[in-house]
């Protein structure tokens, strides 16, 4: 059933298409209106118009919303006109219609020109009308960044009827200053920002630079806040899951934006070949890293993705999110505890995953320091259960997510992850499955990290508690970490310990100050800082590898390999196995110390003292 708007367009097009052949014939005959060709044309005209309208309908010309017309829509019109005019010309030759052949070429040119022009006029009138009645009359919005992302944001604002409030662009590229994009001027550089804002009453600023470093975002955001404007930012490229820039992705500036690094260059073809049409399992799929791995894996179109986790709520949430974004057919939510060997075996037996990404772990340092039995049970033997099942059921590859806290560990959590690494490396010696480890530092916004804690403390008015003013950590964003894990998996041959380039270490105190400023508050005035001292198991400085390990380059600039070699001896594995059912904390810590001589545990020292 045709809608009234579609019917109007059909009638409008029919009138144009009926007039075009007469105009073409007049042009061909230099205005001779007495030619007998006009009588011939009158007889074939209805058939020609019906054929053209039919071609337009077939190409979906009448199913488009012309307020949002693009070049692709114009190409559809050209295609429909081409097909229709070719069919008419062939039919006329077959029927031996007595008309000049050039009329078909002239008609085709006029069809394309007039129909495209009519749609552009409709689009312009609709946008002008929407801008007049729906948009803000004042130019109150400014875009920093006149690159592709900035232009896409501006174009979408225009299409949404909000172009009336866009003042223009600011960009530090001197070749762009003074020129126009989509009719809006590039008004100056960032050094002139305060003057542009003050002179034009700008109230909102969009930072549209998804590929620049965090230092540039921090500088721009600082200027904008000082001008009293509401600031929104386009996320970094690694956060744009579908790779597309949209107004809907604009958000308030987060700490991730200030710590942003150069965008990652991924070999997406290699990742797709690695994952596409395979059965993939992610353990800990409801956690920060696990859920992001699921999002990134989904882009590579696996045949099936097993979402395994212990917490039903978190698994439910990531499952619903993925179904909404990518469709339901490839996702299987599984509630299982990696400590339950029989349950893990049953899951592997049922689904036979080809790739396993093992992200399930206890990772909270102080909690595990107080409960080493649970850290050992989950991080070491839970990992062993999953690794053995992967081997038993013929998985192609197993990638374990590890941590910088496994290097020269001072905590039970870090030590348990190092022993889990040894278990995985030992499995690689005896299996056809390729076992690999990816080690990295802290991820911003993960559960249990300092950023959510700081935000809660700021919301309460402070103070922010920091263990030590000199404490530093390596940070990367969750999407960045997940992408690099997948990339590392593509070139693993088995047995490697990969290290992710974490960039420069960040002072926790400096990060907290930035977070306070992002909330529009003044550090040390509106929000105070309290230093509490190191908690059990914590370090001032984290390490990604020991001095003895060194690093080797891989084929990716952000991924390195620690040439650790096969250090898991049979004697070591026997000692690790002895921990499986051990309940005595002192014995557990003693064995860990024997296995990891660099393990420096205050808990063990205290137990010795208290004897």
Q: Do 508 and 574 meet the contact criterion of CB atoms below 8 Å apart?
A: no
Residue 136 has a pLDDT of 46
Confidence class for position 241, pLDDT limits 50, 70, 90? very low
Does 541 or 526 have the greater pLDDT score? 526
Angstrom distance (rounded) from CA 537 to CA 414: 9
Beta-ladder partners of 334: 308
Residues in the chain: 611
Domain ranges of the chain: 4-133, 141-258, 268-606
Angle in degrees, 0-180, between the axes of helices 312-326 and 288-299, rounded to the nearest 10:
20
Token pair recorded at residue 55: 């071609």
Closest to 380 in 3D by CA, of 591, 196, 238: 591
**pLDDT tens across 122-162, in order?**
777 766 655 544 444 456 788 888 888 888 888 777 776 66
**Residue bearing tokens 């949430």:** 317
- Mean pLDDT, residues 6-21 taken together: 82
Angstrom distance (rounded) from CA 511 to CA 513: 5
Percent of the chain clearing pLDDT 70 (strictly above):
79
**Beta-carbon contacts of residue 384 (< 8 Å; ≥ 6 apart):** 420, 423, 427
Q: Do 127 and 161 meet the contact criterion of CB atoms below 8 Å apart?
A: yes
Closest to 554 in 3D by CA, of 605, 469, 484, 449: 484
Q: Do 502 and 551 meet the contact criterion of CB atoms below 8 Å apart?
A: no
Q: Which CATH architecture has domain 141-258?
A: 3-Layer(aba) Sandwich (3.40)
476-501 burial by CB neighbour count: b if 16+ within 10 A, else e?
bbbbbbbbbbbbbbbbbebbbbbbbb
**pLDDT tens across 275-320, in order?**
999 999 999 999 888 999 999 999 889 999 999 999 899 999 999 9
Determine the topology of domain 268-606 in CATH: Rossmann fold (3.40.50)
* Arithmetic mean of pLDDT over the chain: 80
- Mean pLDDT, residues 582-600 taken together: 85
- The residues assigned a catalytic role are 405
Residue 135 has a pLDDT of 46
Residue 523 has a pLDDT of 82
Terminal Cα-to-Cα distance of the chain (whole angstroms):
87
Q: Do 375 and 412 meet the contact criterion of CB atoms below 8 Å apart?
A: yes
Q: Do 99 and 40 meet the contact criterion of CB atoms below 8 Å apart?
A: yes
How far is the CA of 201 from the CAs of 165, 217, 222, in angstroms? 11, 22, 18
**pLDDT tens across 85-105, in order?**
888 888 888 888 778 878 888
**pLDDT tens across 242-280, in order?**
445 555 566 666 666 666 665 566 777 888 889 999 999
Fold: same for 141-258 and 268-606: yes
- Mean pLDDT, residues 346-357 taken together: 95
How far is the CA of 66 from the CAs of 6, 61, 126, 296, in angstroms? 11, 9, 9, 34
**pLDDT tens across 476-534, in order?**
778 888 888 888 888 888 888 888 876 677 788 877 887 787 766 778 788 888 888 77
Residue 212 has a pLDDT of 65
Closest to 77 in 3D by CA, of 13, 128, 161: 13
Please tell me whether residue 347 adopts helix, strand or coil conformation.
helix
């Amino acid at each position: 059933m045709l809608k009234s708007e579609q019917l109007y367009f059909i009638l409008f097009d029919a009138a144009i298409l009926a007039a075009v052949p007469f105009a073409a014939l007049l042009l061909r005959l230099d205005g001779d209106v007495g030619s007998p060709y006009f009588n011939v044309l009158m007889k074939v005209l209805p058939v020609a118009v019906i054929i053209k309208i039919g071609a337009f309908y077939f190409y979906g010309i009448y199913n488009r919303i012309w307020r949002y017309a693009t070049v692709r829509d114009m190409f559809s019109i050209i295609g429909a006109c081409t097909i229709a005019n070719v069919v008419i010309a062939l039919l006329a030759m077959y029927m031996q219609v007595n008309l000049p052949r050039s009329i078909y070429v002239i008609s085709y040119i006029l069809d394309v020109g007039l129909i495209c022009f009519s749609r552009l006029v409709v689009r312009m009138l609709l946008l002008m009308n929407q801008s007049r009645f729906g948009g803000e009359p004042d130019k109150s919005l400014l875009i920093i960044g006149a690159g592709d992302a900035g232009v896409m944001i501006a174009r979408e604002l225009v299409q949404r009827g909000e172009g009336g409030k866009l003042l223009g662009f600011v960009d530090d590229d001197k070749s762009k200053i003074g020129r126009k994009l989509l009719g809006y001027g590039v008004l100056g550089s960032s050094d002139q920002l305060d003057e542009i804002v003050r002179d034009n009453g700008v109230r909102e600023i969009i930072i549209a630079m998804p590929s620049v470093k965090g230092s540039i975002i921090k500088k721009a955001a600082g200027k904008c806040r000082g001008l009293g404007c509401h600031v929104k930012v386009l996320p970094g490229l690694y956060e744009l899951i579908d790779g597309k820039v949209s107004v809907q992705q604009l958000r308030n500036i987060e700490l991730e934006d200030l710590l942003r690094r150069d965008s990652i260059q991924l070999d997406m073809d290699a990742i797709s070949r690695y994952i596409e049409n395979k059965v993939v399992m992610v353990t800990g799929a409801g956690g920060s890293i696990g859920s992001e791995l699921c999002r990134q894996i989904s882009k590579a179109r696996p045949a099936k993705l097993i979402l395994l986790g212990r917490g039903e709520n978190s698994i439910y949430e990531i499952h619903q999110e993925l179904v909404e974004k990518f469709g339901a057919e490839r996702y299987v939510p599984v509630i299982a505890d990696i400590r339950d060997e029989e349950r893990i075996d049953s899951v592997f037996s049922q689904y036979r995953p080809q790739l396993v990404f093992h992200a399930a772990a206890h990772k909270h340092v102080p909690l595990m320091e107080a409960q080493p039995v649970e850290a050992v049970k989950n991080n070491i033997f839970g990992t062993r259960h999953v690794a053995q099942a992967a081997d038993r059921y013929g998985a192609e590859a197993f990638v374990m997510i590890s941590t910088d806290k496994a290097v020269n560990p001072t905590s039970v959590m870090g030590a348990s992850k190092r022993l889990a690494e040894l278990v995985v490396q030992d499995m690689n010696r005896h299996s056809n499955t390729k076992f690999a480890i990816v080690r990295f530092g802290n991820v911003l916004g993960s559960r249990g990290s300092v950023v959510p804690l700081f935000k809660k403390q700021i919301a309460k008015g402070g103070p922010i508690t920091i263990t030590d003013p000199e404490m530093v950590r390596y940070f990367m964003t969750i999407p960045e970490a997940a992408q690099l894990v997948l990339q590392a998996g593509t070139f693993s041959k088995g047995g490697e310990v990969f290290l992710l380039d974490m960039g420069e270490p960040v002072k926790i105190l400096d990060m907290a100050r930035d977070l306070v400023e992002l909330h529009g508050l003044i550090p040390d005035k509106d929000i105070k800082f309290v230093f509490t001292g190191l908690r059990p198991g914590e370090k001032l400085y984290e390490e990604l590898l020991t001095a003895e390990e060194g690093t080797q380059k891989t084929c990716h600039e952000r991924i390195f390999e620690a040439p650790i070699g096969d250090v898991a001896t049979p004697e070591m594995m026997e000692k690790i196995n002895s921990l499986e059912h051990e309940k005595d904390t002192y014995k557990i810590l003693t064995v860990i110390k024997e296995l990891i001589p660099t393990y420096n545990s205050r808990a063990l020292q205290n137990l010795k003292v208290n004897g």
